[in-house]
Copies of this chain bind each other. A is one copy, B any other.
Amino acid sequence: VTSPRVGIALGSESDLPVMKGCVELLRRLEVPFDLEVVSAHRTPERAREYARTAAERGLRVLIAAAGGAAHLAGVLAAGTDLPVIGVPLDSSPLSGVDALYSTVQMPAGVPVATVAVGEFGAKNAAVLAARILALSDPAVGERLRRFRREMEESVAKANARARKEVGL
């Protein structure tokens, strides 16, 4: 088996249902991954260790998902030079705007590659990780091209269904 290339860190177990969209898409793109629940605030030492050892464990891209004052992606980005993707989650009354701002507004020098709030972001974190890995792994690139064609085809089918639905 191939060792994981993408490390998914969840700020909380309750983030898993939304992040399954990420897991499924990584499997569809055949990108090996690992997944851990790592809280920036409740297990700060583990979060630090996670970031510090990520590269040596063979990980090449980190994905961090968290809601509320979502510090996890930033904390990981502060502890590694790997690219870190942040998925802001909608898990407080503020609809994920808090998580979005906490994830994306990083100070100069320590970037987090932020994707959309919630479900769409969960899936796009997988695609973004694959795009990064494809730069040095042509097989992933080939699967991304296939994925793109499948998206196009699914839009064509959706188009046919929608037109039928409105009687065209």
Q: A113 to chain B: which residues have CB within 8 Å?
A: 85, 113-115, 128
Q: A120 to B107, Cβ gap below 8 A?
A: yes
Given contacts A37-B158, A107-B68, is CB(A96)–CB(B98) below 8 Å? no
Once the chains are docked, how many angstroms separate the CA of A112 from the CA of B159? 23
Contact of A101 among B77, B85, B97, B163 (CB under 8 A): B97
Instruction: Please give me the residue from chain B that is nearest to A5 by CB atom.
Output: B135
Task: Spell out A's residues near B (CB within 8 Å).
Answer: 10-13, 16, 20-21, 23, 34-44, 46, 48, 60, 68-69, 71, 74-75, 77-79, 81-83, 85, 90, 92-120, 123-125, 127-128, 131-132, 134-136, 141, 144-145, 147-148, 151-152, 154-156, 158-159, 161-163, 165-166, 168
